[in-house]
């Protein structure tokens, strides 16, 4: 099989960031991509002005690319924040305020996946109380995702880079998705399998794929070490993606790597044109 047999999208929140947000969809299209994903672009504003939402929607539509994934509000990314939905007080309130705004925006573009980052452990807060708050908020997000015909993705990160983030194994991510499904009764929570984060954690990636491919709703990749493009590190990403397909995963693979010191458009030479153009 190989890279040519996958469906790739490009994450416009980590690639093409040398350009203003509204120019990135067209840049992705010019590089041959038919699909994109985004972190929540307004890091301080869970509900931006309608004009800002409309401008981004038009930029995506005018570029002729498909939005296939959108993060719910998660604070500052990249940065010290690692999600908001389990953080008591203002941050979880921001998350709740964002749910319908993000779902409506995603739904208007036919986006099939909303991604939720859990949130850091907070000093002085009871972890059990944070977990209860998180489940409550994730059920609300699952309902919003169901309303637009989307899945809700549960993302795990890695402990070295996110030491206060409690979901740092594949097992923890899948277990939480199962709990959300049980609590919501909707069955639309899925695991986001980020091969970079899992590799930094030292997980057995072939075993993770074999065990959890059926619970996976989206895949993201970057090489390790360095979080660069495939081929810049030592991960056998082509083999791992082949294994995912053999295990039954036929969804999107998001490119969530850092371009390094090159313009983003120059970092895709490893990827066949046919795999970029998939819609």
Per-residue pLDDT tens over the stretch 194-249: 999 999 999 999 999 999 999 999 999 999 999 999 999 999 999 999 999 999 99
263 lies in a domain? yes
18 lies in a domain? yes
Domain that residue 213 falls in: 3-268
User: 37, 91, 203, 256: which one is catalytic?
Assistant: 256
Q: Taking the chain, what is the end-to-end CA distance rounded to the nearest angstrom?
A: 19
Quickly state the pLDDT bin for 279 (edges 50, 70, 90). confident
10 lies in a domain? yes
Quickly state the pLDDT bin for 76 (edges 50, 70, 90). confident
CA dihedral 194, 19, 78, 170 (to 10 degrees): -10
Its pTM stands at 0.96
Mean pLDDT of 161-180: 97
193 lies in a domain? yes
Say how many domains are in the chain. Answer: 1
279 lies in a domain? no
276 lies in a domain? no
User: 37, 91, 155, 203: which one is catalytic?
Assistant: 155
182 lies in a domain? yes
Quickly state the pLDDT bin for 82 (edges 50, 70, 90). confident
Per-residue pLDDT tens over the stretch 100-152: 999 999 999 999 999 999 999 999 999 999 999 999 999 999 999 999 999 99
Q: Annotated catalytic, 61?
A: no
Per-residue pLDDT tens over the stretch 3-47: 988 999 999 999 999 999 999 999 999 999 999 999 999 998 999
278 lies in a domain? no
Q: Residue 1 above 70 pLDDT?
A: no
- 64: domain CATH number is 3.20.20.150
Radius of gyration of the CA atoms of the chain, in A: 17
Q: Annotated catalytic, 256?
A: yes
The H-assigned helical ranges of the chain are 24-30, 50-63, 90-108, 127-147, 170-184, 195-200, 205-212, 237-246, 273-276
Nearest CA to 266 out of 32, 65, 39, 41 is that of 32
Report whether 68 contacts 153 (CB < 8 A).
Answer: no
């Amino acid at each position: 099989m190989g890279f040519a047999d996958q469906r790739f999208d490009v994450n416009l929140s980590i690639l093409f960031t040398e350009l203003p947000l509204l120019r990135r969809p067209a840049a992705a299209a010019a590089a041959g991509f038919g699909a994109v994903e985004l972190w929540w672009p307004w890091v301080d504003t869970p509900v931006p002005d309608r004009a800002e939402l409309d401008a981004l929607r038009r930029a995506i539509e005018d570029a002729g690319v498909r939005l296939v994934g959108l993060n719910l509000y998660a604070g500052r990314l990249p940065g010290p924040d690692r999600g908001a939905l389990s953080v008591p007080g203002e941050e979880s309130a921001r998350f709740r305020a964002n749910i319908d705004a993000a779902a409506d925006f995603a739904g208007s573009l036919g986006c099939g996946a909303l991604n939720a980052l859990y949130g850091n452990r907070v000093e002085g807060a009871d972890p059990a109380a944070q977990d209860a708050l998180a489940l409550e908020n994730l059920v609300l997000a699952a309902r919003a995702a169901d309303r637009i015909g989307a899945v809700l993705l549960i993302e795990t990160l890695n402990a070295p880079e996110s030491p206060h983030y409690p979901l740092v194994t594949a097992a923890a991510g899948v277990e939480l998705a199962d709990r959300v499904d049980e609590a919501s009764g909707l069955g639309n929570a899925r695991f986001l399998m980020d091969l970079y984060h899992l590799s930094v954690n030292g997980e057995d990636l072939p075993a993770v794929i074999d065990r959890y491919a059926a619970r996976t709703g989206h895949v993201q990749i970057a090489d390790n070490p360095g979080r660069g493009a495939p081929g810049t590190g030592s991960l056998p990403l082509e083999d791992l993606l082949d294994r995912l397909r053999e295990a039954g995963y036929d969804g999107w693979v998001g490119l969530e790597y850092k371009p390094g010191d090159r313009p983003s458009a120059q970092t895709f030479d490893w990827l066949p044109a046919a795999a970029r153009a998939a819609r």
